């Protein structure tokens, strides 16, 4: 955390107190250089492997500006819905550099993806493969697809965000033979071109061995597909999942740690290809959380303070589960600081509550802060991923604006909602 001479926390050279004066709270603030640095780090490190491509998993934080930045940083983007696809395309993001995901892509979303010419669709069910085939055939196209497999690797992370355990709604299981059957079917479909395999073993992963073990399993499967069908995988997409720092207890990772994740992955790919006699595939990765999480801070104004003697003290802020539902969903930990008194020593443990009518609406419990008063500015760190993208209008609260800061300048990239925005689609039938 950076602090200026006034004792105020700064982000990207901007004083957080001044950001509040200009944009109000709650406010999502992103350090643009940090986002660019992570995108560049992944791109450059992957280049050490050989041919590869980074796709930013945009479900972590999606808005036009981030797609524009990804394009400038020469990386691709993953989308998981028609809405994300639309946002990317309307920001001028090249369709060829988009990879479309989803465990239940709607027929309409498949049509939109094929029509716009997305570079890859990751197939996650056989019924969906038939829909892609039809959509491509109707347009006289051949759609490149990857097959999502579940290699059965359990990454060490929170159970709710794991996706590659044997019981998962994502991917065809390698263990029970369904991945092989699916590969066979994809190779039969004339308007699909299977380029390789995709897997994603979870999120918030810190053990680099997980990436190596998963790659090894995926290559064993690729070798089996070569033996069974003479199919040589051209591409391997290893997903995302690289961990980030939220709070005390999490490892604070530096550039070298992220490089080490990738080197563990591509070291295993290179070694596995040698062992199985496979050509080195084009390697893809899909980092989401780690691209923007630590670049993001949410600013709130402290309001009501309630001390329940002998139990706990609650600081209520002007945001809550409508701008950050992650405590409600996963009991996620965060770190908070008083941004207007950032130089002061923490002296008490408090719980930070949101303003929604839900007892569970908390941002964090037992956060260590200086004694706060109504009007203080609270900054919650590492909120750049899965916060804005999971925001809602619960209690008809407005989704806050997003600003990007860089070199002491702040630029609005998403306007805050107004009451009119919230009620925009409401209709009053005549008899009401
Ligand atoms: C969520 C997801 C990612 C990104 O995961 P992070 O943990 O945010 O890096 C990548 N690929 C797929 C398929 C995903 O579902």
For ligand 1, is residue 287 a contact (CB within 6 Å)? Answer: yes
Q: Where are the domains of the chain?
A: 2-30+295-421, 50-291
**Ligand 1 geometric centre to CA of 244 (Å):** 13
Active site residues: 357
| Tens place of pLDDT per residue across the chain (432 aa) | 999 999 999 999 999 999 999 999 999 999 999 999 999 999 999 999 999 999 999 999 999 999 999 999 999 999 999 999 999 999 999 999 999 999 999 999 999 999 999 999 999 999 999 999 999 999 999 999 999 999 988 676 543 334 445 677 888 999 889 999 999 999 999 999 999 999 999 899 999 999 999 999 999 999 999 999 999 999 999 999 999 999 999 999 999 999 999 999 999 999 999 999 999 999 999 999 999 999 999 999 999 999 999 999 999 999 999 999 999 999 999 999 999 999 999 999 999 999 999 999 999 999 999 999 999 999 999 999 999 999 999 999 999 999 999 999 999 999 999 999 999 999 999 999
> Which CATH architecture group holds 2-30+295-421?
Beta Barrel (2.40)
311 burial (CB, 10 Å; 0-12 / 13-18 / 19+) is exposed
> Looking at the domain covering 50-291, what would its CATH class be?
alpha beta
For ligand 1, is residue 217 a contact (CB within 6 Å)? Answer: no
**Ligand 1 geometric centre to CA of 143 (Å):** 22
pTM: 0.96
Which is the closest atom of ligand 1 to the Cα of 385?
A: 8
Which is the closest atom of ligand 1 to the Cα of 198?
A: 13
For ligand 1, is residue 20 a contact (CB within 6 Å)? Answer: no
The partner residues of 146 in beta bridges, in order of sequence, read 122, 196
Residue recorded with tokens 């950001």: 19
Cis omega before residue 23 (within 30°)? Answer: no
**What's the gap between Cα 222 and its chain centre?**
27
**What's the gap between Cα 184 and its chain centre?**
31
For ligand 1, is residue 82 a contact (CB within 6 Å)? Answer: no
């Amino acid at each position: 955390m950076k602090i200026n001479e006034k004792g105020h926390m700064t982000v990207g050279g901007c004083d957080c107190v001044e950001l509040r004066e200009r944009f109000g709270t709650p406010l999502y603030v992103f350090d643009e250089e940090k986002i660019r640095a992570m995108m560049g780090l992944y791109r450059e490190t992957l280049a050490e492997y050989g041919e590869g491509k980074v796709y930013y998993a945009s479900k972590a934080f999606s808005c036009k500006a981030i797609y524009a930045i990804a394009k400038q940083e020469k990386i691709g983007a993953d989308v998981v819905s028609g809405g994300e696809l639309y946002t990317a395309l309307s920001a001028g993001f090249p369709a060829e550099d988009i990879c479309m995901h989803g465990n239940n892509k709607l027929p309409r979303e498949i049509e939109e993806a094929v029509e716009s010419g997305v570079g890859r669709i990751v197939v996650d069910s056989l019924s969906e493969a038939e829909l892609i085939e039809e959509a491509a055939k109707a347009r006289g196209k051949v759609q490149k697809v990857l097959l999502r497999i579940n290699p059965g690797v359990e990454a060490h992370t929170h159970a709710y965000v794991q996706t590659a355990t044997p019981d998962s709604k994502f991917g065809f299981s390698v263990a029970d033979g369904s991945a092989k059957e699916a590969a066979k079917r994809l190779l039969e479909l004339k308007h699909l071109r299977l380029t390789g395999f995709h897997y994603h073993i979870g999120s918030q992963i810190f053990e680099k061995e997980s990436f190596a073990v998963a790659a090894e399993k995926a290559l064993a499967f690729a070798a089996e597909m070569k033996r069974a069908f003479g199919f040589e995988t051209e591409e391997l997409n290893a997903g995302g999942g690289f961990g980030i720092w939220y709070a005390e207890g999490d490892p604070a990772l530096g550039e070298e740690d992220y490089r080490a994740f990738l080197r563990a992955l591509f070291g295993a790919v290179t070694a596995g290809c040698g062992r199985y006699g496979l050509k080195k595939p084009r390697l893809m990765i899909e980092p989401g959380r780690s691209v923007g999480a630590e670049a993001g801070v949410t600013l709130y104004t402290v309001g009501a303070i309630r001390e329940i003697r002998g139990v706990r003290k609650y600081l209520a802020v002007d945001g809550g589960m409508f701008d950050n539902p992650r405590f409600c969903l996963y009991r996620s930990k965060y770190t908070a600081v008083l941004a207007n008194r950032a130089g002061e020593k923490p002296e008490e443990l408090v719980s930070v509550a949101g303003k929604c009518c839900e007892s569970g609406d908390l941002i964090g419990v037992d956060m260590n802060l200086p004694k706060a008063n109504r009007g203080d500015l609270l900054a919650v760190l590492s909120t750049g991923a899965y916060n804005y993208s999971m925001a809602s209008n619960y209690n008809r609260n407005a989704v806050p604006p997003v600003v990007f800061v860089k070199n002491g300048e702040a630029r609005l990239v998403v306007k805050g909602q107004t009451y009119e925005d919230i009620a925009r689609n409401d209709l009053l039938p005549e008899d009401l």
